[in-house]
Amino acid sequence: MADTFKLIKKISRLAEGKKRLRFMEVCGTHTVAIFRSGIRQILPENIELVSGPGCPVCVTNDDYIDKAIAYSRRKNFIVATFGDMLKVPGSRSSLASSQAEGAKIKIVYSPLDCIKLAQKNPDKKIIFLAVGFETTAPTAAATVLAAKAQGVKNLFMLSAQKLVPPALKFLLNDAQVKVDGFLLPGHVAVVIGSDAFKFLAEDFKIPSAIGGFEADEILTALASLLEQIDGGKVEVANNYRAVVKAEGNLSAKKILAQVYEEEDVSWRGMGKIPASGMKMRNEFSDFDIERVEPIEIERVAKKTACRCGEVLRGVINPTACPLFGKGCQPLHAIGPCMVSVEGVCAAWFKYGGNNFKW
């Protein structure tokens, strides 16, 4: 606790006399941790924290959900997914609705669970919904390698893996996005390393800091951002050295490079971002359901007042959305930012309390 008070005093001292500063956390776990520990309430008034596209479920487009639903309704198919994908809305429906109508959808806790599921159901095609950032992608890649080694022929991936650095470049080139520094995602940095974020300092001259998830670790990273601004020296500060190395996790990166290659993909609220996604290499095409059994879906322009896309870019806070807390609540979510436990809107709703003005 003594360290916490010291950090709060340090942040207050460094922030004194400075213009209003906006720092973006780029991790859904950080967003929840910041709210849970009350960090927003203890920061100086001129320091604003804004949430970015750090929830993989939230940045997944409607058409991916539509494809997953379409596959789940096919005979002899089983869709395997993490639980937080069930209620994510597509253009017309959700996986939860499809499941209620009889589609075979199983909740798993790891992609590796799908190997046993495939072995127990040799007459079924098992599709894992591979949604995530660099943090979870190595496990999906390891699952593909394990399935190939074990001769499992009925396991496939529907991929929507995304890469964080290209999204940060996009945000910094977006005139609507105003940030003065980044609190970088610790879990992603464990995999790709602190060097992967060097471009922030070298190309954009913007302060950034990699932080852990305890209150003191987050405050230390925020103090680091202020020290960079105060001293005029911009860098990628690694305040999570116990687990984050400059080069990252070489084993995880090797597995990723073996199975995946970069591709241009679309992000909710941001459109198509070059080289920001991962697709399976040709030698693993037998595990890519979209190449093994392509599916056509009718694209539907969904009309909604949901402003999740702007929330994910940090352009607005959730309370600026007309649906927030009214038509859109965790039990009856309209947008993905309210569905996932790491979603910005879900965190604001759960922890915001009396700070909200309805």
Report pLDDT digits (tens) over 277-297. 999 999 999 999 999 999 988
Whether residue 177 sits in one domain with residue 121 = yes
321 and 221 housed in the same domain:
no
In a domain, 112, yes or no: yes
Under DSSP, is residue 193 helix (H, G, I), strand (E, B) or coil?
coil
In a domain, 180, yes or no: yes
Indicate if 145 and 287 belong to the same structural domain.
Answer: yes
Query: What percent of the chain has pLDDT above 70?
Result: 97
Q: What is the pLDDT of residues 325-341, one digit of tens each?
A: 998 998 888 889 999 88
Hey, is 223 helix, strand or coil? helix
Angle between helices 113-120 and 137-149 (to 10 degrees): 40
Q: Name the nearest CA neighbour of 132 among 103, 97, 104, 157.
A: 157
CA gap 210, 195 in Å, rounded: 11
Strands 155-162 and 271-280: antiparallel
Q: What is the pLDDT of residue 353?
A: 47
For position 355, what pLDDT does the model report?
52
**Within a domain: 106:** yes
| Contact residues for 250 (Cβ-Cβ < 8 A; gap 6+) | none
The CA-CA-CA angle for residues 133, 39, 357, to 5°, reads 95
Note the pLDDT tens digit of each residue in 205-226.
Answer: 999 999 999 999 999 999 999 9
Query: CA 229 from chain center: how many Å?
Result: 27
Taking residues 192-196, report their average pLDDT: 98
Pair 120, 236 in one domain: yes
Instruction: Based on the fold, state whether residues 141 and 155 are members of the same structural domain.
Output: yes
Residues 180 and 68 in one domain: yes
- pLDDT value, residue 358: 36
% of the chain at pLDDT higher than 90: 86
Q: Mark whether 197 and 334 lie in a shared domain.
A: no
Do residue 102 and residue 41 come from a single domain?
A: yes
> Domain residues for 324?
308-353
Long-range contacts formed by 118-125: CB under 8 A, 24+ apart: 118/147, 118/152, 118/154, 118/155, 119/152, 121/78, 121/154, 122/154, 123/76, 124/76, 124/77, 124/78, 124/154, 125/76, 125/77, 125/78, 125/154, 125/156, 125/289, 125/293
In a domain, 262, yes or no: yes
Number of domains in the chain: 2
Retrieve residue 287's tokens: 């595990």
Among residues 299, 313, 302, the alpha carbon closest in space to that of 269 is found at 313
- Distance from C-alpha of 341 to C-alpha of 349, rounded to nearest angstrom: 11
pLDDT of residue 296: 86
Burial 206-215 (b: 16+ CB within 10 A, else e): bbbbbbbbeb
- Name the least confident of 108-117, 129-138, 170-179, 347-356: 347-356
Q: CA–CA separation, 79 vs 69, rounded Å? A: 9
- Token representation of residue 74: 């096919």
Say if strands 47-51 and 21-25 run parallel, antiparallel, or are unpaired: parallel
Sign of CA dihedral 340, 341, 343, 346: positive
Q: How far is CA 69 from the centre of its chain?
A: 21
Helix axes 215-231, 2-15, angle to 10 degrees: 30
CA distance 115 to 144: 9
* Same-domain status, 247 and 337: no
Beta strand segments in 253-338, E = 260-267, 271-280
Shortest CA distance to 342 belongs to which of 99, 145, 82? 82
What is the average pLDDT value for the chain, to the nearest integer? 93
Q: How far apart are CA 79 and CA 111, in angstroms?
A: 12
Structure tokens at 211: 């932080």
Q: For residue range 131-188, what is the model confidence (pLDDT) as tens digits?
A: 999 999 999 999 999 999 999 999 999 999 999 999 999 999 999 999 999 999 999 9
Look at strands 208-210 and 181-184 and give their pairing.
parallel
Looking up residue 236, the CATH number of its domain turns out to be: 3.40.50.11750
Beta bridge partners, 105, equal 79
Residue 358 lies in a domain: no
331 and 300 within one domain: no
Residues 246 and 314 in one domain: no
Same domain, 289 and 185: yes
Burial (0-12, 13-18, 19+ Cβ within 10 Å), 291: middle
